[in-house]
């Protein structure tokens, strides 16, 4: 029998990411969406989250960041497993309390860190672990945008409870990826700023992390980048890898494609990154992106008791860095 999913929120996160991925996952049925917007045929539209507590097997929270913790808390008290879109929570304390509640209730709780399954990140992960770079000493990761005119919306609202700004938005991904590659951080330096006139939340950041493993991660994002930096530059004792451009899955989802579509997650050859030393580089085929793994893993969690795809403790580790960095703003 298919597991019944209730989705809260049908903005970009809900409509572009969660709904298509849920629908494409064998063993899951998107039964209901809490939204004021039109929903796909065959899906029930509901007005209130508490209408989901009765006849669903999994709750997915893709509503504005300030609602993540209260809605997840309600769902857990109702006895339901929960997927929370990133960022997990506005504060480390709230994230820990939510994790403790899930543990006390013996319910699965996970965070949608989909960019662990970006094709370019999977390629970097493979290069690091295979030793083709030699001992890595620096990892550079950028996610830049050109938006000189601020968008209107909840991500632009000030206040810690809103968890707005680019550090909570894109920083949550970049930090998570660095931690996945190189482990815990022993020290950090942060620059978190507002560059565009009139903005009330951070729109530019640079983080320098020193991992306990000795690797230095330089992570940055700017909303005012007329020319983007390389998405990745990884420096090792024997070689380096440089990659421009973003993973193809988000653009495909926005175009109405999804897992199972022709060439899903495959990047064209002209976008592949380069491995080697200056003057002697070779293209490295980008691994196929696989956002669909997240919900396939959730099916295994709910049916077989397998580990959740993203441990909430790992999301807390990223939040600890975000919380410390915000002190510099």
Q: CA–CA distance from 139 to each of 88, 136, 179 (Å)?
A: 24, 7, 11
Eight-class DSSP state of 259: T
Q: For residue 138, what is the DSSP state? A: E
DSSP label at residue 146: B
Q: 50 to each of 59, 64, 77, 210, how far by Cα in Å?
A: 11, 17, 11, 43
**Model confidence pTM above 0.75:** yes
Considering only the top CATH level, what class is 115-289? alpha beta
pLDDT for residue 327: 86
Q: 208 has which bridge partners?
A: 189, 218
| Topology (CATH level 3) of domain 3-112+293-309 | Rossmann fold (3.40.50)
pLDDT at 328: 75
CB atoms within 10 A of CB 137: 13
Give counts: helices (H), strands (E), the chain.
Answer: 9, 14
Length in residues, the chain: 329
Contact 310, 113 (CB under 8 A): yes
The tens-digit pLDDT sequence of the chain (329 residues) is 899 999 999 999 999 999 999 999 999 999 999 999 999 999 999 999 999 999 999 999 999 999 999 999 999 999 999 999 999 999 999 999 999 999 999 999 999 999 999 999 999 999 999 999 999 999 999 999 999 999 888 888 888 899 999 999 999 999 999 999 999 999 999 999 999 999 999 999 999 999 999 999 999 999 999 999 999 999 999 999 999 999 999 999 999 999 999 999 999 999 999 999 999 999 999 999 999 999 999 999 999 999 999 999 999 999 999 999 998 77
Element (H, E) at 84: strand 82-85
Maximum Cα interatomic distance, the chain, rounded to a whole number of Å: 62
Asked whether 230 and 249 are in contact (CB, 8 A), the reply is no
Tell me if 200 sits within 8 A of 156, measured CB to CB.
Answer: yes
Residue 87, preceding peptide bond in cis (omega within 30° of 0): yes
Give the separation between CA 311 and CA 74, rounded to whole angstroms.
20
Q: Where exactly are the structural domains of the chain?
A: 3-112+293-309, 115-289
Compute CA 104 distance to the chain's CA centroid, rounded to the nearest angstrom: 26
**Residue 152, by phi and psi: left (phi above 0), alpha (psi -120 to 50) or beta?**
beta
Centroid of chain to Cα 268: 23
């Amino acid at each position: 029998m298919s597991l019944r999913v209730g989705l809260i929120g049908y903005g970009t996160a809900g409509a572009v990411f969660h709904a298509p991925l849920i629908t494409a996952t064998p063993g899951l049925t998107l039964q209901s969406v809490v939204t004021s917007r039109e929903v796909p045929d065959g899906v029930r539209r509901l007005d209130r989250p508490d209408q989901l507590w009765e006849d669903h097997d999994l709750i997915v929270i893709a509503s504005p960041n300030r609602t993540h913790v209260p809605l997840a808390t309600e769902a857990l008290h109702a006895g339901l497993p929960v997927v929370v879109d990133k960022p997990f929570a506005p504060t480390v304390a709230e994230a820990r309390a939510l994790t403790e509640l899930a543990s006390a209730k013996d319910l699965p709780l996970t965070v949608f860190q989909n960019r662990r399954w970006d094709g370019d990140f999977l390629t970097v992960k493979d290069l690091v672990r295979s030793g083709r770079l030699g001992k890595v000493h620096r990892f550079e990761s950028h996610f830049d945008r050109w938006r000189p005119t601020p968008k209107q919306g909840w991500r632009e609202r000030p206040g810690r409870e809103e968890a707005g700004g680019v550090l909570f938005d894109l920083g949550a991904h970049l930090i998570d990826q660095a931690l996945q590659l190189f482990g815990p951080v022993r020290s950090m330096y942060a620059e978190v700023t507002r560059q565009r006139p009139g903005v009330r939340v951070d729109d530019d950041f640079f983080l320098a992390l020193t991992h306990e493993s000795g690797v230095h991660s330089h992570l940055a994002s700017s909303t005012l980048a007329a020319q983007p930096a390389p998405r990745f530059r990884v420096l090792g004792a024997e070689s380096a890898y440089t990659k421009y451009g973003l993973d193809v899955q988000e653009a495909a989802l926005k175009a109405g494609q999804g897992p199972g579509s022709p060439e899903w997650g495959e990047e064209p050859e002209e976008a592949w990154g380069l491995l080697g030393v200056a003057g002697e580089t070779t293209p490295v085929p980008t691994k196929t992106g696989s956002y669909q793994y997240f919900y396939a893993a959730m099916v295994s969690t709910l049916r077989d008791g397998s580990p959740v795809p993203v441990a909430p403790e790992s999301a807390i580790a990223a939040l600890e860095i975000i919380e410390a960095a915000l002190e510099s703003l």
